[in-house]
């Protein structure tokens, strides 16, 4: 990535991505599809959610995606809130293994494809490009095992 995730997307792709994220996060089935796919992606993942309030977790996911989009549009940065989330997922927190973040992005793209009525190949590329870059920043800060 040159100057951040959004810089690798055209203006049209950025606008389409932002609108797609809004459409997805406005629909409860988006987070349901996401967590169904994510929890099934690796047998170790469900243990990290053993005592999770999923209503709260779903709100946090939507909020985190919004924060990532805003930060990504500004460039190669994480917001203070995302740094706190990264810290909670890093070695001093839950110590989430780095490979699980790939599953997270995959589940995100899958859920968007299932829920967004305007989803297309171009949007799939935008979601994957953007959130892979944002997660790379997140992982670099979290320094997972």
Confidence at residue 101, expressed as pLDDT on a 0 to 100 scale: 83
User: Domain residues for 85?
Assistant: 5-142
Number of domains present in the structure of the chain: 1
Is the Cα dihedral 86, 88, 92, 97 positive or negative?
negative
Burial of 42 (0-12, 13-18, 19+ CB in 10 A): middle
CA distance 49 to 128: 24
CATH number at residue 20: 1.10.490.10
Confidence at residue 70, expressed as pLDDT on a 0 to 100 scale: 80
Q: pTM for the full model?
A: 0.82
Query: For residue range 68-90, what is the model confidence (pLDDT) as tens digits?
Result: 888 776 665 666 666 666 655 55
Contact call for residues 70 and 18 (beta carbons, < 8 A): no
Identity of the highest mean pLDDT range in 4-13, 63-72, 76-85, 92-101: 63-72
Query: For residue range 42-75, what is the model confidence (pLDDT) as tens digits?
Result: 999 998 888 888 888 888 889 888 888 887 766 6
């Amino acid at each position: 990535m040159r100057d951040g995730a959004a810089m690798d997307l055209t203006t049209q792709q950025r606008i389409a991505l932002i609108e797609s994220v809004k459409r997805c996060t406005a629909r409860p089935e988006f987070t349901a599809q996401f967590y169904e796919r994510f929890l099934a992606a690796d047998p170790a993942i469900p243990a990290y959610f053993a005592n999770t309030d999923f209503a709260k977790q779903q709100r946090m996911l939507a909020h985190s995606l919004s924060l990532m989009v805003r930060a990504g549009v500004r460039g190669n940065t994480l917001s203070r809130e995302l740094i706190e989330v990264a810290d909670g997922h890093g070695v001093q927190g839950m110590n989430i293994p780095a490979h699980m973040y790939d599953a997270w992005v995959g589940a995100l793209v899958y859920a968007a494809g299932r829920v967004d009525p305007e989803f297309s190949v171009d949007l799939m590329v935008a979601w994957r490009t953007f959130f892979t870059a944002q997660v790379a920043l997140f992982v670099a800060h979290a320094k997972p095992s």
